[in-house]
Amino acid sequence: MSLQQAPPSRVFVELVPWTDRGRENNLVSGGETLSALRRPLSSAQAQTSSREVHVSGTAEVSASPDRAQVAVRVSSTKEAAAEAKKSVCRRLDYITQTLQQQGVQSENVTVTKDFKRVESAYHMEAEVCITFTEFGKMQNICNFLVEKLDSSVVISQPQFYHTSGSVENLRRQACLVAVENAWRKAQGVCNLVGQTLGKPLLIKEEETKEWEGQIDDHQSPRLSSSPTVQQKIKSATIHAASRVFVTFEVKGKEKKKKHI
């Protein structure tokens, strides 16, 4: 009676010695084996070689815009040049005083003026560009100016954006969180198999992604044509993702010495 031949075995995990990393590029499938895999390591090689665990880590972080800019425009058209200037400057002074009273710093306010002749009249226009870091204060000031000034004063919709430093910090945070997730994964694997996680041997960021959030498509036409402040903030929110590959050294559990 003949014995049935056992099916070929497959190796799905291998602890690769650091001194023989060339074997990582050799693949074994089915019952095929390579001669290099048949040779056992000598005792000297086994003592000097290190074992590794290879893991990947991913992370996704997001940041809302940290700046907003609003433009307030004041204009007047009069037959006399002095009257046009007086009308604009009076309201312009009121706007700048309001900003000072609300604690807006002068370096965050830019004023430009334009004066020209239109047919037989004079036209003057001034624009106040204000940069805000506190969005609640921005809304309060804009609402106050709309209430106190006439229709000749036009306040633009806020434009939200990110400073270059905040974007760079977001990229850095995504990478660090991905590395931390990879470390936690490797720590869990070592704990499961009764080993101790050693120092990292290789850290490589393999992929990064960035994108801006968009307002949901399931909105009524009225809302989508005139988005709210919160919808604008959501649309300007930046997301960053990172994927890293990390190789850690694996150490055996240290035996506790018995004290006599």
What is the pLDDT, as a whole number, of residue 254?
Answer: 64
What is the pLDDT, as a whole number, of residue 160?
Answer: 96
Closest CA to 156 of 137, 175, 138, 168: 138
Question: SS3 of 7, please?
Answer: coil
Residue 260: pLDDT band by 50, 70, 90 thresholds? low
> The pTM is what?
0.67
Position 237, amino acid: T
Mean pLDDT of 2-28: 42
Residue 223 has pLDDT above 60, yes or no: no
What is the pLDDT, as a whole number, of residue 128?
Answer: 96
What is the pLDDT, as a whole number, of residue 152?
Answer: 76
Residue 249: pLDDT band by 50, 70, 90 thresholds? very high
Across the chain, mean pLDDT equals 80
What is the pLDDT, as a whole number, of residue 49?
Answer: 54
Closest CA to 86 of 99, 95, 76: 76
- Cβ(202)–Cβ(246) under 8 Å? yes
- Cβ(203)–Cβ(179) under 8 Å? yes
Position 52, amino acid: E
Non-local (6+) Cβ contacts of 256 within 8 A are none
Nearest-angstrom CA–CA distance, 244 and 59? 9
Mean pLDDT of 168-189: 96
103-156 tens-digit pLDDT: 999 999 999 999 998 888 999 999 999 999 999 999 999 999 998 887 878 999
Nearest-angstrom CA–CA distance, 54 and 13? 11
Residue 3: pLDDT band by 50, 70, 90 thresholds? very low
Nearest-angstrom CA–CA distance, 119 and 117? 6
189-218 tens-digit pLDDT: 999 999 999 999 999 999 999 999 864 544
27-72 tens-digit pLDDT: 333 444 333 434 454 544 444 456 899 999 999 999 999 999 999 9
pLDDT higher for 225 or 69?
69
pLDDT higher for 186 or 49?
186
Strand partners, 121: 118
Instruction: Using the structure block, give the residue that is written with the tokens 């624009």.
Output: 127
